[in-house]
Amino acid sequence: MSGRRIRKSVKAALTGLVSEVEVAAVSNAYAQYMTTREEYLAQNYEGASTHFGPNQLAAVQQELNRVAASIANPSIPLALGPLPRTFDRTQLATVQTGVVQDTYPLGISFGSVRTDVQKSYTIRSSVKASFVGGHPKNRLQLVASFCDAEKFDAATGTYKTFLTDAHWDVRFRWTRLGVTESNSECEWVLRSGSPVSVPGTYRLRHRGFSKPLIGDIKAYEGVSASFTVV
């Protein structure tokens, strides 16, 4: 709807010079979402991600109309306006430290299950399992998914990836235990009415990387016990 309103107002400002106005998708990047005032007031995801408030669309229309009017009539001046400040990356400072070391409790290792799943779950409940983990900052770019829900395929006798943590219902939570230990929790929320909340046999899988004090960062993974959704 915002795009329709922009096209309509810009076309009017161009006073018949064009028959169609197009909005390029990348033009929205500076302000994140571009909702209408009505959509903003509903405060769904898009409204909450509209950076400059309920009048953002009106402000953009105002400036685009001003430029369009000057295009239609070059005698209308365009003030340059303030220039953006030069962004110098050399002046940036960070208080983030790198991962020094990951450790695990005596007798177990990375990927070991701390708290396992129950045997069965019903819709409107949450499946949770926690694992001995490493810091999620370890080679973050190589982790496609920290938590997967895998479904048992009776035809092949194997488990196959059913959901990754890219799905709305699958959550990954990391907490530091003490100084160098980590707890990695995987949760699958079985929402009522969700197309993926279906009966079957499943298990949760956690993946990550661990960093020793000396040596290379290594991949690990852990798997919960199986459970049924009824």
Cβ atoms of residues 100 and 213 within 8 Å: yes
Cβ atoms of residues 116 and 129 within 8 Å: yes
Cβ atoms of residues 80 and 86 within 8 Å: no
Cβ atoms of residues 66 and 78 within 8 Å: yes
For 23, the token pair is 């909005």
Torsion, Cα of 5, 9, 10, 13 (10° steps):
180
Q: Using H for helix, E for strand and C for coil, what is the string for 84-120?
A: CCCCCHHHCCCCCCCCCCCECCCCCCCCCEEECCCCE
Distance between CA atoms of 78 and 141, rounded to whole angstroms?
Answer: 45
- Closest by alpha carbon to 10, among 94, 66, 73, 79? 66
30 in a labelled binding site:
no
Half-sphere exposure for 114 (CA within 13 Å, toward CB): 18
H or E segment and range at residue 58? helix 56-72
Q: Which residues are annotated as a binding site for Zn(2+)?
A: 33
Q: Which residues are annotated as a binding site?
A: 33
